[in-house]
Amino acid sequence: MSATRTLTTARPRTGRSARMPVASEKSHRLRGKILLYVAMSLFGVIFLFPLVFMFVSSLKPDSQILQDIDSVNAFLPVGDISLDNYFGVFDRVPVAQFMFNSVLVTVLTVGLGLIVNSMAGFALSRLEWKGRLVVLALVIATLIVPFETIAVPMVYWVAQLPTLVVEGGVPKYDFGWLNTYEVQIVPFIANAFSIFLFTQYFSTIPKSLDEAARIDGASWFTIYRRILVPLSGPAFATVAILTFLPAWNQYLWPLMVVQKEELRPVMVGMQYFFQLNTAWGEVMAYTSLITLPVLIVFLIFQRAFVSSIAASGVKG
Amino acid sequence: MTVTPPTVAAELPRRATRRLRSIKSRETWAGLGMIAPAGILLVLFLIVPVILAFTLSFTNARLISPNPPRFVGFDNFIRAFTADPVFIQSVGNTAVFALVVVPVQAGLGLLLAVLVNRRMRGVTAFRVIFFIPVVTSIVVVSILWKFMYQQDGLINSMIDALTFGAWSGVDWLNDPHTALGAIIVLSIWQAVGFHMIIWLSGLQTIPEELYEAAKMDGASPWRQFTNVTWPGLRPTMVFVLVTITIAALGLFVQVDVMTQGGPVNSTSTIVYYAVRKGYEQQEIGYAAAISLIFFVAVLIIALIQRRLTREKD
């Protein structure tokens, strides 16, 4: 008698059997949910605190930052709050020029990349031509080459490329791409991974569409332009996002090939802040300034961002 | 039905093939034309630099030099492995970094993905929060953490608060014992969200029915994970491991911004060292040799990983 009683009471504790009372299961689930929220919030704090610290510190003078660092105040906009650091940043570096350079380089790299790589993807997935498979294999093989391994030889190489310069209204040839916009853009337009993503996406679209258009007398370019491009929004969004981040974040390359201040992008502009006594308040203001545009773009398009990254992984 | 004269009937297939051939050749031209822009750019800015890296590595070329590069055979490679302790140390540091970052980042990414892989209020917000460091530039992240890692910085004061004053503080980035570890922590923090999303997309390809069936059989959450989730994630795992490894081996920006390879070369990495040699010290031939060694290492590791993860299928 007592044995059966212990058995029935002990049971719900070990495994969740069908006989478990409804109320207990509900509380069990609730407990699980609360635990989950606690865990996620804990991680949330870990992921957010450095950025909160950055934005808050950008509003404080250096003395206030140091004073607040021992308490929760480090994360709160309290005390001597002002935009002084931001004004200081504008005095110290040509922020507007850096921003313009970064926007120009990013927009052109992403925009031209979308056109060039999608056309290549079209040629590789929809057209039959001699050597197609060889080229496809080559493109996939180049995926493995990390940019860092070719960066140094590339400096050597671009320093010898011909370029058109206009001197006193007279155009003439010169050599060397160092200190130009094109050196920041042109090498990054064609991208093996983008071509690969476009090729994959285009091959999921039925080929009967091409055949119908061919019968109507459309050229291959028209088919690409009028049929494939409009049907491939997600592929274009994925490639745009995946190339936008590295273009905006370029650092190593412009550091090596662009010495002229007026041509440098925002990330390299960072260097102007580290003197003997680093003014950390101003540094935080500058990093906040160059992070905000990306964060805003991300928060607006976060759904597209997340699905782009996911798509790039699933295909791999 | 009219009877076609035999001559025309014989003509027909020939004309058709000729027309077909002209269509084919037009398709070939269209294909070549549309691949040309990307093809030329890839040749100029990928293939040529790769070939250059290869050929320069057997010379004593300098970035700016009046003398033309001279062929020196395997001298650069021999020098790297036998007469350059900093290179050897850079290889070691890179290996340590990868050995810690790859499993920890992949594991944490999976943990986060499992946490946010459910239909619950607010889950999307958490996904966004975990992803925010990924969209923040690594240059910004490095500077921010450099600031936090100072002797009187935020990290020390937080540890101090958590240990109720028992902590005496460490100058994280200026101590050879802690500098690499400090870089490891911020690197994981920055990129783990990226891999969370990859794992998440893998998790979502596992059919819901499998979990229902497992629950019917009374499987615990842990059993569900080991018997349903984990086997379903195999292809995702390959991708995550390969991408993290390649990214980890290429460690550069964090080192350049935070420590410049110091203190006493404790954070120098292969890529950082190659850039320093090739760019700052202008020894481009030697830097190309180091780059080539690095590339071969990446290639071998990627192939091994692919092989290992495939065999278990």
Beta bridge partners of A246: none
Looking at the complex, report in whole angstroms how far the Cα of residue B41 sits from the nearest Cα belonging to chain A: 6
- Residue B246, pLDDT > 70, answer yes
Question: Would you give the DSSP letter of residue A273?
Answer: G
**pLDDT at A12 (0 to 100):** 42
Looking at the complex, report in whole angstroms how far the Cα of residue A120 sits from the nearest Cα belonging to chain B: 4
**pLDDT at A17 (0 to 100):** 47
Cβ separation B115–A43 shorter than 8 A? yes
Question: DSSP string covering B57-109, please?
Answer: TTB---SS-SSPP-B-TTHHHHHHHHS-HHHHHHHHHHHHHHHHHHHHHHHHH
Nearest to B239 among A190, A290, A316 (CB): A316
Residue A170's contacts (CB-CB under 8 Å, 6 or more residues apart) are: none
**pLDDT at B13 (0 to 100):** 63
Q: Where does the pLDDT of residue B7 fall: very low under 50, low under 70, confident under 90, or very high at 90 and above?
A: low
Q: Are A257 and A179 in contact (CB under 8 A)?
A: yes
Residue with tokens 């007469």, as numbered in its chain? B83
Q: Where does the pLDDT of residue B143 fall: very low under 50, low under 70, confident under 90, or very high at 90 and above?
A: very high
Looking at the complex, report in whole angstroms how far the Cα of residue B49 sits from the nearest Cα belonging to chain A: 5
Is the bond preceding residue A171 a cis peptide, omega within 30 degrees? Answer: no
Nearest to B48 among A66, A157, A189 (CB): A157
Cβ separation A313–B198 shorter than 8 A? yes
Per DSSP, the three-state class of A166 is strand
Chain B residue with CA closest to A38: the answer is B115
| B interface test, pick of A156, A160, A252, A255 with most B CB neighbours within 10 Å | A156
Chain A residue with CA closest to B122: the answer is A37
Nearest to B138 among A156, A157, A249 (CB): A249
User: Which residues of chain A lie closer than 8 angstroms to B148, CB-CB?
Assistant: 50, 53
Average pLDDT, whole number, for chain A? 85
Cβ separation B201–A145 shorter than 8 A? no
Q: Which of 82-121 (B) contact A at CB < 8 A?
A: 112, 115-116, 118, 120
Which ipTM was obtained for this model? 0.85
**pLDDT at A19 (0 to 100):** 52
Q: Which H helix or E strand runs over A96?
A: helix A95-126
Question: Would you give the DSSP letter of residue A174?
Answer: E
Rounded CA-CA distance A237/A114 in Å is 9
Cβ separation B37–A116 shorter than 8 A? yes
User: Which residues of chain A lie closer than 8 angstroms to B140, CB-CB?
Assistant: 54, 267, 270, 287, 290-291
The answer to whether B284 contacts chain A (CB < 8 Å) is yes
**pLDDT at B310 (0 to 100):** 65
User: Which residues of chain A lie closer than 8 angstroms to B271, CB-CB?
Assistant: 148-149
Residue A269's contacts (CB-CB under 8 Å, 6 or more residues apart) are: A93, A95, A98, A286, A290
Tell me which amino acid residue B63 is.
L
Looking at the complex, report in whole angstroms how far the Cα of residue B5 sits from the nearest Cα belonging to chain A: 28
- Residue A257, pLDDT > 50, answer yes
Among A249, A279, A280, which residue's Cα sits nearest to residue A265? A249
- Residue B312, pLDDT > 60, answer no
The answer to whether B177 contacts chain A (CB < 8 Å) is no
Cβ separation B30–A306 shorter than 8 A? no
Whole-structure pTM value: 0.85
Q: Are A165 and A174 in contact (CB under 8 A)?
A: yes
- Alpha carbons within 13 angstroms on the beta-carbon side of residue A33 total 12
Cβ separation B38–A290 shorter than 8 A? no
**pLDDT at A16 (0 to 100):** 46
Rounded CA-CA distance A243/A234 in Å is 14
**pLDDT at B11 (0 to 100):** 54
Cβ separation A51–B136 shorter than 8 A? yes
- Residue B42, pLDDT > 80, answer yes
- Residue B185, pLDDT > 70, answer yes
Rounded CA-CA distance A217/A228 in Å is 16
Could you give the angle at which helices B85-116 and B75-82 cross, rounded to 10 degrees? 80
When mean pLDDT is compared across A99-108, A123-132, A144-153, A227-236, the lowest value belongs to A144-153
Rounded CA-CA distance B196/A161 in Å is 42
Per cent of chain A over pLDDT 70 is: 91
pLDDT in tens, B266-288: 999 999 999 899 888 888 899 99
**pLDDT at A11 (0 to 100):** 40
User: Quick one: average pLDDT of B68-78?
Assistant: 88
Looking at the complex, report in whole angstroms how far the Cα of residue B232 sits from the nearest Cα belonging to chain A: 13
Chain A residue with CA closest to B139: the answer is A267
- Residue B251, pLDDT > 60, answer yes
The answer to whether B286 contacts chain A (CB < 8 Å) is no
- Residue A305, pLDDT > 80, answer yes
Chain A residue with CA closest to B125: the answer is A44
**pLDDT at B43 (0 to 100):** 94
**pLDDT at B152 (0 to 100):** 86
- Residue B145, pLDDT > 60, answer yes
Q: Are B102 and B244 in contact (CB under 8 A)?
A: yes
User: Quick one: average pLDDT of B156-172?
Assistant: 85
Is the bond preceding residue B263 a cis peptide, omega within 30 degrees? Answer: yes
The answer to whether B301 contacts chain A (CB < 8 Å) is no
Cβ separation A144–B284 shorter than 8 A? no
Nearest to B252 among A43, A47, A252 (CB): A252
pLDDT in tens, B94-140: 999 999 999 999 999 999 999 999 888 889 999 999 999 999 999 99
Cβ separation A119–B126 shorter than 8 A? no
Nearest to A152 among B138, B278, B302 (CB): B278
Cβ separation B135–A305 shorter than 8 A? yes
Q: Distance between alpha carbon B31 and the CA centroid of its chain, in Å? A: 31
**pLDDT at A5 (0 to 100):** 40
User: Which residues of chain B lie closer than 8 angstroms to A39, CB-CB?
Assistant: 115
**pLDDT at B136 (0 to 100):** 93
When mean pLDDT is compared across A18-32, A151-165, A260-274, the lowest value belongs to A18-32
Q: Which of 55-84 (B) contact A at CB < 8 A?
A: 56, 61, 63
Per DSSP, the three-state class of B187 is helix
